[in-house]
């Protein structure tokens, strides 16, 4: 399994970020997205923001993707068939 890495910074999820994700999925099955401190609030609100980023990514990418959040990391996986 080939895993890629990418980071979400203070700009959050932009169109360029989505385009780079789709480009990485051409060669990789799974991508780990690290949410940097500048992209989330301090304290317990940070993990809620990571969940929000995960839901936003799934809405923008489509039904062939699934995600799992572990701490401040989002693991995205692309499937061959729709998962929803």
Give the pLDDT confidence of 43-59 residue by residue, as tens digits: 778 888 999 999 999 99
User: How many domains are contained in the chain?
Assistant: 1
Residue 84 lies in a domain: no
Q: How far apart are CA 40 and CA 29, in angstroms?
A: 26
Give the CATH number for residue 55: 3.30.110.60
SS3 content of the chain, % helix, strand, coil (to 5): 35, 30, 35
Look-up of token digits 């990391």: 73
Residue 83 lies in a domain: no
- The residue range of the domain holding 9 is 3-78
Residue 7 lies in a domain: yes
The pLDDT of residue 3 is: 86
- Whether residue 83 is predicted with pLDDT greater than 70 in this model: the reply is no
The pLDDT of residue 60 is: 93
Residue 35 lies in a domain: yes
Q: What pTM does this model have?
A: 0.88
Q: How far apart are CA 73 and CA 51, in angstroms?
A: 10
């Amino acid at each position: 399994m080939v895993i890629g890495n990418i980071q979400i910074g203070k700009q959050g999820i932009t169109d360029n970020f989505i385009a780079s994700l789709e480009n990485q999925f051409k060669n990789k099955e799974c991508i780990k997205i690290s949410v940097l401190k500048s992209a989330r609030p301090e304290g317990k609100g940070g993990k809620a923001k990571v969940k929000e980023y995960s839901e936003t990514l799934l809405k923008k990418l489509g039904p062939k993707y699934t995600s799992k959040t572990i701490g401040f990391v989002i693991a995205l996986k692309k499937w061959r068939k729709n998962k929803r």
